[in-house]
Structure 1
């Protein structure tokens, strides 16, 4: 896996938008999806971060979520809808959040001021390359649809029949059967239904590993060129954060409700008190000595 440490906003933009030219389309269309993290942490799902057997816990979580949430939401009774809805509202699932937008990923890498003393990470993952490990049935479906990621409706076309898609019973799950046929775990990307404007504004999509116990870091480790990590130095975070605010990439636009508005206002009007000089201000004498 390639690690790239950037040292300026310009370099960051060049790396994030690299390889975007699509000669077949003659348009700039990046093959990458993005994930921003405020610090260097493994690519674990919220389900994996719970203690215990992930498969057993997942079955109970989804059953209970459907039981208690059904009276409050109107959604199609398909498991992939329920998983998307649960992930969207904080339920521990096997899904992992990604975005098509590098700037949205940068927002999440710089949204936690308490982590501004730590390097952030932007994951770039080439979905077209990871799709090469998909079982034949899934590859054929993407090819027929002319797509590189799945939707809930596309997965339903495979005969998953909604609530049985993961078949939380003694039988092998649908993903397990696919994995057994292909002989290895596989990764697919799922575009969630537009449950609300938050999903739309964030250009969101989810990754799904067929093995819920395997971390994505481990799966990617044997696939050269499929992913890269952009290291965002702590010293660059304030500049990135301010330039994102100036580009209207904020909590107010990505979480379009009163909570998002309040989060943006709280952060935007907070005075910076870390003692870092402005770009035109000379560094303190002690800092200059340390540079030589």
Structure 2
């Protein structure tokens, strides 16, 4: 799908593609914005080309980090912290907000000459395919997504997680609110039970439609960016602090004039 106007794009992203799954105020869809539509849903450790070194990366991150947690018996808090601070991991970042996803599809003004995309995934339908132990834990928690605590109760380590099923499976979980960035970005994380498996391949092979991709055409990107800035969906909000302020000012003063 490639909408040609801001109104078409907005309505398409905010119309729940699986309305029978939604509840009041609670869509069952998460979104991921990408600056180039041609890019696949690869994790950072896959883009690095070293998925086989995942355990080494995480082990040394724990080794050289200050201990921010009260316990050390779960990989999930460490994996979340590592992802949050830029370590290559098997996690993919998503957001509940279509506008936040559009920010990440349009923030790089140097790529406004290529199409971007917003991927949307139905996480409830994904969770219907979870191994029984995780499904039971999710139902017992009363939530729609797992947390690091519920994941740790079933599978304290990534090795335990991978061993829950012979075939790779996908799950979404809400990261703990480590700082304002996670809160402001309305974040959700996805993780596959294999560092090597690709999320887009897994979603495409599912028996029911679990994913949708909306292309944000290059010609539409400047308009989308302007609307987002007017709505205060900017680096200054999504990356609170001086780093975000610097990103926002850099983009503002390097953006081409309106034509």
Shorter-chain TM band:
over 0.9
2:43 maps to which residue? 45
2:205 maps to which residue? 222
Alignment equivalent of 1:133, drawn from 118, 126, 129 = 129
Distance 1:121 1:216, change over 3 A: same
Distance 1:24 1:85, change over 3 A: closer
2:233 maps to which residue? 249
| Cα distance in 1, alignment partners of residues 242 and 213 from structure 2 | 33
Distance 1:89 1:26, change over 3 A: closer
TM-score normalized by the length of structure 2: 0.92
Q: Where do residues 122-161 of structure 1 align in structure 2 (5 Å cutoff)?
A: 122-158=118-154, 160-161=155-156
Q: Where do residues 56-71 of structure 1 align in structure 2 (5 Å cutoff)?
A: 57-70=53-66
1:189 maps to which residue? 172
| Cα distance in 1, alignment partners of residues 29 and 23 from structure 2 | 17
1:204 aligns with 2:187: yes
Rg bigger for which structure?
A: 1
Distance 1:248 1:59, change over 3 A: same
2:28 maps to which residue? 31
Cα RMSD after superposing both structures: 2.0
Contact 2:16 2:22 in 1 (8 A): no
2:4 maps to which residue? 7
Structure 1 alignment gaps of length 5 or more: 167-172, 278-292
| Cα distance in 2, alignment partners of residues 237 and 176 from structure 1 | 39
Structure 2 alignment gaps of length 5 or more: none
Distance 1:79 1:234, change over 3 A: same
TM-aligned CA deviation for residue 76 of structure 1? 4.0
Distance 1:233 1:75, change over 3 A: farther
Contact 1:251 1:264 in 2 (8 A): yes
TM-aligned CA deviation for residue 148 of structure 1? 2.2
| Cα distance in 2, alignment partners of residues 129 and 43 from structure 1 | 18
| Cα distance in 1, alignment partners of residues 185 and 176 from structure 2 | 13
TM-aligned CA deviation for residue 154 of structure 1? 1.0
| Cα distance in 2, alignment partners of residues 59 and 262 from structure 1 | 34
TM-aligned CA deviation for residue 174 of structure 1? 1.0
Aligned residues: 256
Contact 1:21 1:27 in 2 (8 A): no
| Cα distance in 1, alignment partners of residues 18 and 57 from structure 2 | 42
Q: Which segment is superposed worse, 24-33 or 218-227?
A: 24-33
